[in-house]
């Protein structure tokens, strides 16, 4: 039971790299913390630091009012907590396992006798509970309100509302931003590397340029929402001409041309579909499958 005085009791199911960091953060914040892991040896360090180790998943669930699950994937979650619906009754299950929005909605539909929050962690284990960590949640509003302070132990907590799929959808979209950005950096590092420039010499310029690109994101978001993509900075044709240099430079350096060729192909498709004269945000029509 949660009272104004007693710290919330927390169970962490799954002690992989992330689960260990989550349990550590709850322990440090003074929450009585129970842990369970399929491979019991991974609980030993946490036990030495004060965690209670439950011998079964059912006992782990019964030990706390807030149950946090962080496993490899949704199938593992269903295998592990699926048989323990009765023990979960009246408690809150927070699922921090990565998955799709449909998987989150399916799990929420299964969670009828207890409150369910689906979550996504936008941090690596060592950043958990530091100010730069942020976590996304969606699902039962009253459960988020009730456990917001405890969840903030892990990092900043953002709630997207009742649709349990939204946190996962934001998660994959944000991971796409990360992979696209990192791929572009790695391609650039390979290109300059072919000219004997170290990646660490390129990195400060990449970082400075990324802060300008952040500004483009905000401006283009406003255009996308308005449905109009005026070329306020540069037209798509101007971008396309320069994209061809990136392809030619890559070929000349003997590095992979697939990445820049894909970038070029996206701009060509937008222009062929009639978006000549549009700004870069006009590419949204290609990503929407409408060009
Ligand atoms: N690590 C990270 O930086 C990212 C940050 C963003 C979010 N992810 C997601 O967190 C989930 C767990 O990731 P992880 O890094 O902790 O993963 P592992 O270290 O590989 O640990 C996996 C745990 O899952 C247990 N497990 C797997 N399958 C089963 C199963 N069928 N039944 C019970 N437990 C299972 C595994 O147990 P064991 O192998 O130790 O016995 C680990 O506890 C993940 O969704 C990331 O995308 C992390």
Nearest to 74 by CA among 47, 52, 48, 107: 107
pTM: 0.94
Q: How far is the CA of 18 from the centre of ligand 1 (A)?
A: 7
Q: Are strands 52-53 and 33-36 parallel, antiparallel or unpaired?
A: parallel
In the chain, where does the domain assigned CATH 1.10.1040.10 lie?
198-287
Cβ–ligand 1 contact at 78 (below 6 Å) = no
Ligand 1 pocket member 80 (CB < 6 A)? yes
How far apart are the CA of 72 and the centre of ligand 1, in A? 4
Q: For residue 254, give both structure tokens.
A: 């003997």
User: Measured between alpha carbons, how far is residue 49 from residues 20, 25, 43, 128, 140 in Å?
Assistant: 12, 11, 10, 17, 32
Per-residue pLDDT of the chain (291 residues; tens, 9 = 90+): 445 678 999 999 999 999 999 999 999 999 999 999 999 999 999 999 999 999 999 999 999 999 999 999 999 999 999 999 999 999 999 999 999 999 999 999 999 999 999 999 999 999 999 999 999 999 999 999 999 999 999 999 999 999 999 999 999 999 999 999 999 999 999 999 999 999 999 999 999 999 999 999 999 999 999 999 999 989 999 999 999 999 999 999 999 999 999 999 999 999 999 998 999 999 999 999 987
Q: Angle CA(89)–CA(129)–CA(94) in degrees, nearest 5?
A: 15
Q: Is the CB of 20 under 6 A from ligand 1?
A: no
Predicted local distance difference test score (pLDDT) of residue 86 = 96
Q: Give yes or no for residue 16 CB within 6 A of ligand 1.
A: yes
Q: How far apart are CA 41 and CA 169, in angstroms?
A: 34
Residue 279 CA to residue 228 CA, distance in Å, equals 9
- With beta carbons less than 8 A apart as the criterion, state whether 255 and 187 touch: yes
User: Is the shortest distance between the CB of 83 and ligand 1 below 6 Å?
Assistant: no
**The CATH number of domain 10-168 is 3.40.50.2300:** no
- ipTM for the complex shown: 0.99
* C-beta of 150 in contact with ligand 1 (< 6 A): no
pLDDT of residue 108: 97
Residue range(s) in the chain whose domain bears CATH number 3.40.50.720: 10-168
Instruction: For 240-288, give the DSSP string.
Output: HHHHHHHHHHHHHHT---HHHHHHHHHHHHHHHTT-TTB-GGGGHHHHT
3-state secondary structure (DSSP) of residue 111: coil
- The residues, any chain, with a CB within 8 Å of residue 87's CB and separated by 6 or more, are 58, 61, 62
* Domain over 198-287 is classified CATH 1.10.1040.10: yes
The closest residue, in CA terms, to atom 30 on ligand 1 is 76
């Amino acid at each position: 039971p949660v009272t104004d005085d007693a710290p919330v009791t927390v169970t962490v199911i799954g002690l992989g790299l992330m689960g260990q960091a989550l349990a550590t953060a709850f322990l440090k914040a003074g929450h009585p913390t129970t842990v369970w892991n399929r491979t019991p040896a991974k609980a030993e360090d946490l036990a030495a630091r004060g965690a209670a180790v439950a011998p079964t998943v059912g006992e782990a669930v019964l030990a706390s009012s807030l149950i946090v699950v962080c496993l490899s994937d949704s199938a593992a979650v269903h295998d592990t907590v699926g048989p323990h619906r009765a023990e979960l009754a009246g408690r809150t299950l927070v699922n921090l396992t990565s998955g799709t929005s449909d998987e989150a909605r399916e799990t929420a539909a299964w969670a009828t006798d207890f409150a369910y929050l689906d979550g996504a962690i936008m941090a690596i284990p060592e950043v958990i509970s530091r100010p730069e960590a942020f976590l996304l949640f969606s699902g039962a509003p009253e459960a988020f309100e009730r456990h917001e302070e405890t969840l903030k132990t892990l990092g900043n907590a953002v709630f997207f509302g009742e649709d349990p799929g939204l946190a996962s959808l934001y998660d994959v979209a944000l991971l796409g931003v990360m992979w696209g950005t990192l791929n572009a950096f790695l391609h650039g590092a390979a290109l300059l590397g072919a000219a004997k420039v170290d990646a660490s010499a390129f990195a400060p310029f990449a970082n400075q340029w990324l802060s300008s690109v952040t500004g483009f994101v905000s401006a283009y978001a406003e255009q996308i929402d308005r449905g109009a993509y005026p070329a306020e900075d540069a037209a798509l044709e101007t971008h396309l001409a320069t994209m061809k240099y990136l392809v030619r430079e890559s070929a000349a350096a003997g590095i992979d041309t697939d990445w820049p060729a894909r970038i070029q192909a996206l701009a060509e498709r937008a222009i062929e579909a009639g978006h000549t004269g549009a700004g870069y945000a006009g590419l949204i029509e290609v990503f929407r499958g409408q060009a």
